[in-house]
Amino acid sequence: MISKMHPPREAWRMKVRVLRLWVVPSFGNHEVPNSMEMILLDEHCRKIQATVKKPLLNRFRDHIVDGQVYRMAYFTVVSNHGSYRVISHELKLVFLHRTTVVVVDEDVIPKTCFNMFPFSELLNMT
């Protein structure tokens, strides 16, 4: 499903595993969180970055954990050209007030997935 996502539609639904999750601190005060970032993986080994901005952190921070599979719905799909780009996908997801996240018991999504690149391409990615 990640491969079919495009802006400006918000009514996307997908089943994904949270590969990595981390909190980005505020610039002025490292004790205060600014956002939560995730790398999501679908059943076809496609990855996309997702962001939970500061106003929604309290709603999602304690309910999403590394390694768990979720059914997620309703988020904005935007260009992924910012400072926190951690994967090559050109788009990323931004959670909204109406975003839903439900734990799924299925384990059909791989726990990890690697993309191999020629060394010359790796040098161009830095």
Residue 14 and residue 42 in contact, taking contact as beta carbons nearer than 8 Å: yes
Higher pLDDT, 93 or 10: 93
The alpha carbon of residue 112 and the mean position of all alpha carbons in its chain are separated, in whole angstroms, by: 14
61-65, 108-112, 117-121: the lowest-pLDDT one: 117-121
Q: Which of 73, 75, 23, 14 is nearest to 47 (CA)?
A: 14
Q: What average pLDDT does the segment 13-35 reach?
A: 94
Residue 58's identity, in one-letter code, is N
Report whether pLDDT(126) > 70. Answer: no
Class of domain 2-125 as given by CATH? mainly beta
Cα separation, 16 vs 72, whole angstroms: 8
**In the chain, where the domains are located:** 2-125
Q: How many CB atoms lie within 10 A of CB 35?
A: 19
C-alpha distance across the termini of the chain, in Å = 28
pLDDT tens-digit series, residues 26-69: 988 989 999 999 999 999 999 999 999 999 999 999 999 999 99
